[in-house]
Amino acid sequence: MSPAGSPKCPYCDQEIVASELPFGSVECGECGERVWFLTVSGERAYFKYEAAALVQRLFEGLISGQRVPRELGLDGLDVVEMVKAFEDELEEAL
């Protein structure tokens, strides 16, 4: 199992069902571990929760080009709040 950037849970190698958001954290339904996820070029990548520093560096590189799906119905302020909440959660994990 890959420690970072896995298409499945990096702890148990099982499929993960995450929200439609392009980034965030989610609990694996199989093993219960919390993992980070980022959507890169339309593909979901999951990272061990301990990899917060790596996820933060990757997220900072993606944010300018990252798109939030219109189907979510979020306005600009909602997106800013979501990004800020994710950054705050990353900071807490560091």
pLDDT in tens, 28-69: 999 999 999 988 777 888 999 888 888 888 887 776 656 666
7 Cα distance to chain centroid: 12
Sign of the torsion angle spanned by Cα atoms 34, 11, 49, 54: negative
DSSP-H helix ranges across the chain: 52-62, 76-93
Token pair 């799906």 in the structure block, residue: 69
Six token digits for residue 70: 């219109």
Six token digits for residue 2: 């890959």
Look at residue 26 and tell me whether its pLDDT is greater than 70.
Answer: yes
Token pair 């989610």 in the structure block, residue: 26
